[in-house]
Chains A and B, each alone.
Chain A
Amino acid sequence: MKPRYEPPKQSGAGQFFDSAFLLVLVYVALFTPLILGLTGAGSTNVMPDTVSWETLEQNEVMQGQWEKLGYTPDTAAEIITTKFDYSIDPLMLLLTAAVIIGYFVFLVRVSDKEYRDVIAEKFDH
């Protein structure tokens, strides 16, 4: 039987450093996509040659509601014609899937190993 594991006591400075380290990681994760300029979904915009409610394909009721909101065909055109781009890059999709699946497999495996220690100490001592 393994002896009971006695963890070291962490110093105040060590505790402080660990909290700060985690925070820095969070900010890196938040800012990296921004700095690399890779945020948000891709979108396309096809503006008709002459902008009017008709060319923007808005029926009468829609026109009425837009106007009630304070829009004219010119100010609404941008909102109406911008469309998301849902094209899929198979390589990126595979990579993302591999990272997510790999992450969960890693989690379950390592957790189980640690869990066996916990159960052994809890029930066999």
Chain B
Amino acid sequence: MVDQTSNPAAVSGAAAEPDRVGLLRVLGPVHVWALGVGIVLVGEFMGWNFSVGKGGAMGALIACWVIGLLYTCVAMIDSEVTSTVAAAGGQYAQAKHIMGPLMAFNVGLYLVMAYTMLEAADALIVGDLLTILAEQTGYDALDPKPFVILIISMLAFLNYRGVFMTLTLNFIITAAAFVTIVILFVGVQPWTAGAVLKHSDLLTDLPYGWIGVIAAFQFGIWYYLGIEGTCQAAEEVRSPSRSLPLGTMTGIMTLLIAATLTWYVCSGLLPWEYLGQATVPLYDAARMTGSTTLQVFLFVGTLFAATASANGCINDASRAWFSMGRDRYMPHWFGAVHPRYRTPYRSILFLIPIAVSFAFTGLLDQVITFSILSGLLGYTFMPINMIMFRRKWPLGSIRRGYVHPFHPIPAIVLMLLCITTFFATYLGFGTQLLAMMLFYVVVSLWFSMHRYKYVRRADQFTMNWPKPQGY
């Protein structure tokens, strides 16, 4: 383990101003990959399959690839902006520099909400898995609550003690979970059609036609939700302009592969009506092979994936909350850094009871919907942000760590896909969509009329850039 108190970056930072305590720059590209993929990979073990229920197995595959395109646009846009605006809080800091305080406040909240609620869902999954295990060993009254709390407090403890250890662990368990998907894929002998996988008999036509395919987009997001979290590490990565694009792009490739493998295995083993409502589809697929080894592997894989996801979520949500506190968008008290571990310790602590309370409401689908929708709002912000970024600072006016090709096509594609996904959400969860939009409208009014008066204006722009064009 690296001694987190004697990092050269910290020393040089301290030399500039003797008693300033900031986050530590200790992470490399693998950690960025682990943060991004770690949060998301749990989506392959559960959640994505609700898209099968919405539009049939083929519909889900179309959704998987179309939403994959959406996320490729997200990764391209994000890589360019974050490799240039490298600050904790990721998209929040981007919004602050490019669009303005109110947008930044909203983006910060999307991040905190999306991640804290996803974290609650992950912890619930760990609890469910243990309940299943207990049932299989003959004890069917297991109370999952203590294990839900334990997993959240263990991960919060890790996060509290330092980012390097936290994300190194995430790398190990994420890689292991990914390997279990590959093992399952090999285990079902995809090279001999019909031996284990029975696609020709199980695949049906689109049960709802094309509207079902669109409805499937909503849960197609599960395959990738959270990959954009890589940007949260910007202030802790050794060389952000290189590591962030590298980690994010390899992350999205890993996910595209994992998503396709997952779909292929599950749709070849489970009737779509079952798959569309299963809680742990990959584990079920392993059960169908009849191999105990595969079953054990997938049990461990699911457990690891959920843990890695919760871990990454704590990391990201606390960074976003911390950055908002530091800028006084939220109470300033949260902007504190632990002098020894160099972590946003108050934000980490504050978010523990909130995540636990979300987990204990028992409203898993509500919580997940809120999480997905907050993510979706964040993706809708990105194309607007990107177009303004290129307009206010055209290429060549500042140094960018990475310049994405084909601008503005990714931005336009992303915008169109977001609109379609909003429509898909309307089809499935119209009322929640409206309730959540009203929530964001109310907090926006609250911010502009109340919170904004505590914000120091000039401090909202910390990059060393020339004045934006048109101002």
Question: Are both chains from one complex?
Answer: yes
B176 at the interface (CB under 8 A from A): no
Decide: A104 and B380 in contact? CB cutoff 8 A: yes
Decide: B101 and A111 in contact? CB cutoff 8 A: yes
Interface of A toward B, CB cutoff 8 Å: 4-5, 7-8, 10, 12, 14-16, 18-19, 21-23, 25-26, 28-34, 36, 38-41, 58-62, 65-66, 68-69, 71, 76, 79-80, 83-84, 86, 88, 92-93, 95-96, 99-100, 103-104, 106-108, 110-123, 125
Query: Chain A's interface: helix, strand, loop or mixed, by majority?
Result: helix
Closest-CB distance, B436 to chain A (whole angstroms):
6
Decide: A103 and B437 in contact? CB cutoff 8 A: yes
Chain B residues, Cβ within 8 Å of A111: 95, 99-104
What are 10 A-B pairs at a CB distance below 8 A?
A: A15-B332, A39-B432, A40-B365, A76-B273, A86-B211, A96-B434, A103-B437, A104-B380, A119-B471, A122-B460
Chain B residues, Cβ within 8 Å of A107: 102-103, 106, 444
Closest-CB distance, B456 to chain A (whole angstroms):
6
Residue of B nearest to A30 (CB): B366
B31 at the interface (CB under 8 A from A): no
Closest-CB distance, A41 to chain B (whole angstroms):
4
Closest-CB distance, A34 to chain B (whole angstroms):
7
Closest-CB distance, B398 to chain A (whole angstroms):
14
Closest-CB distance, A122 to chain B (whole angstroms):
4
Of the candidate stretches B86-94, B254-262, B291-299, B420-428, the one touching chain A is: B420-428
Decide: A15 and B100 in contact? CB cutoff 8 A: no
Chain B residues, Cβ within 8 Å of A4: 457-458
- Which of B207, B211, B273, B460 has the most A CB atoms < 10 Å from its CB? B273
Contact of B430 among A15, A66, A92 (CB under 8 A): A92
Decide: A39 and B366 in contact? CB cutoff 8 A: yes
Decide: A84 and B441 in contact? CB cutoff 8 A: no
Chain B 153-171 near chain A by CB (<8 Å), digits 1 or 0? 0000000000000000000
Decide: B458 and A118 in contact? CB cutoff 8 A: yes
Chain A residues, Cβ within 8 Å of B444: 103, 106-107, 110
Query: Chain B's interface: helix, strand, loop or mixed, by majority?
Result: helix
Of the candidate stretches B22-30, B135-143, B447-455, the one touching chain A is: B447-455
Known: A40-B429, A107-B444. A119 touches B461 (CB 8 A): yes
Known: A29-B436, A80-B273, A99-B437. A116 touches B113 (CB 8 A): no
B337 at the interface (CB under 8 A from A): no
Known: A8-B453, A125-B458. A69 touches B468 (CB 8 A): no
Decide: A96 and B288 in contact? CB cutoff 8 A: no
Decide: A5 and B456 in contact? CB cutoff 8 A: yes
Decide: A118 and B461 in contact? CB cutoff 8 A: yes
B384 at the interface (CB under 8 A from A): yes
Known: A15-B333, A19-B331, A108-B384. A114 touches B452 (CB 8 A): yes
- Known A-B contacts: A65-B270, A100-B422. Give 19 more (CB < 8 A): A23-B354, A25-B442, A28-B439, A34-B363, A40-B365, A65-B202, A69-B274, A83-B207, A84-B54, A103-B440, A106-B441, A108-B99, A108-B103, A114-B100, A116-B471, A117-B457, A118-B458, A119-B468, A123-B471
